[in-house]
Amino acid sequence: MEMKKAGEIMIPLDEYPHVPYWLSLRQVIAVMEKSQFDISGRKSLPRFVLVFDEAYQLMGLARRRDLLRGLEPDYLSGKPAEYRKKLFDVHVDPNLSEFSYDKMMRSIREQAERPVKDVMMPITAAVDYEDHLFKVIYEMVDNNLSLLPVLQDGKVVGVARSVEVLHEIAKLLL
């Protein structure tokens, strides 16, 4: 069996969720909720969204958990994890829970209007369309990533995900 290249295992850019950096977290969540792709008969949901600038240059990516963290109310952000955890360990009078729920929802809705650029992570690695599977594995492991942009002639043409990489390795091993 011949070793596959990044371009052969990637999800093409037009099939993967990508957004401009100015979109709100709410809008990006809507894009992710609608995204689903079929890879060799297996349904898959994205864990990331790619973020581009006006010139369609890749700026970064946002994971699902980055989006969730971005919704954190102002009064919790910047506080140590231990402080935030204690807020949910308190036994509250059930008559007061509606008030705190309303306050939390109001704050989450406000935060959801922030641009995705506020929570995205910069791109730290990428692979070329012609790079072999081993190069993809190396970059993922070396950079602690589960998704890599795939470039062709300096432009993003798709993404290589660890799930497809592992599937290719499984075909070689099993």
Average pLDDT, whole number, for the chain? 89
Whether 48 contacts 147, CB under 8 Å: yes
Show me where the domains of the chain are located.
Answer: 6-68+115-173, 72-111
Fold of 6-68+115-173: CBS-domain (3.10.580)
pLDDT digits (tens, 9 = 90+) for 103-129: 888 999 999 999 999 999 999 999 999
DSSP category for residue 72: S
Reduced to 3 states (helix: H, G, I; strand: E, B; else coil), residue 99 is helix
pTM, full prediction: 0.84
- What is residue 55's predicted lDDT score, i.e. its pLDDT? 94
Q: Measure CA 1 to chain center.
A: 32
CB count in 10 Å sphere of residue 168: 18
- What is residue 56's predicted lDDT score, i.e. its pLDDT? 92
Q: Is the pLDDT of residue 99 over 70?
A: no
Reduced to 3 states (helix: H, G, I; strand: E, B; else coil), residue 15 is helix
- What is residue 37's predicted lDDT score, i.e. its pLDDT? 79
The label of the residue with tokens 């297996």 reads 42
- What is residue 94's predicted lDDT score, i.e. its pLDDT? 59
- What is residue 17's predicted lDDT score, i.e. its pLDDT? 96
| Spatial CA neighbour of 61 closest among 98, 104, 32 | 32
Structure confidence at residue 88 as a pLDDT band (50, 70, 90) = low
| φ, ψ (nearest 5 deg) of residue 156 | -70, 125
